[in-house]
Amino acid sequence: MVENPRAEWTNEDKNKANLDNVAKDILYKTMDKNMFSKIKTCSTAKDIWEKLTQLCEGNDQTKENKLAVAIQMFDNAKIKSGETMTEFDERFSNIICELIALGKIYTNREIALKVM
């Protein structure tokens, strides 16, 4: 971000400031009041993005905890009494998607064995 006094900005500084304002505007328009209240003190689009990433994804410890929970859900996945195969498949697919998002990839063989 531009650190010079505004009167000393070059055309490149003005362009960077304009791009930052456009990015902030886009980010502001995509969030609800609750999320906006958490980032309103951020001064640049980069600061907003980093804060949103931290809020939504969490820190490394949070990610590890989410991964541990998702692995446990995978390990304990069984069809419930009265659950249709379609419902189980949807629930199981959501677990697989969560694991992939957290960086844990199972082979097709491992997934097929688990479903069986």
| pTM reported for the whole predicted model | 0.55
How many Å apart are CA 54 and CA 73, to the nearest integer?
Answer: 24
Instruction: Give the integer Cα–Cα distance in Å for 86 and 79.
Output: 10
- CA angle at 77 for the pair 97 and 92, rounded to the nearest 5°: 30
Domain borders along the chain are 6-57, 60-115
The per-residue pLDDT string of the chain (116 residues; one tens digit each, 9 = 90 and over) reads 547 788 888 899 899 999 999 999 999 999 989 889 999 899 999 999 999 888 877 777 888 898 999 999 999 999 999 999 999 999 999 999 999 988 899 999 999 998 88
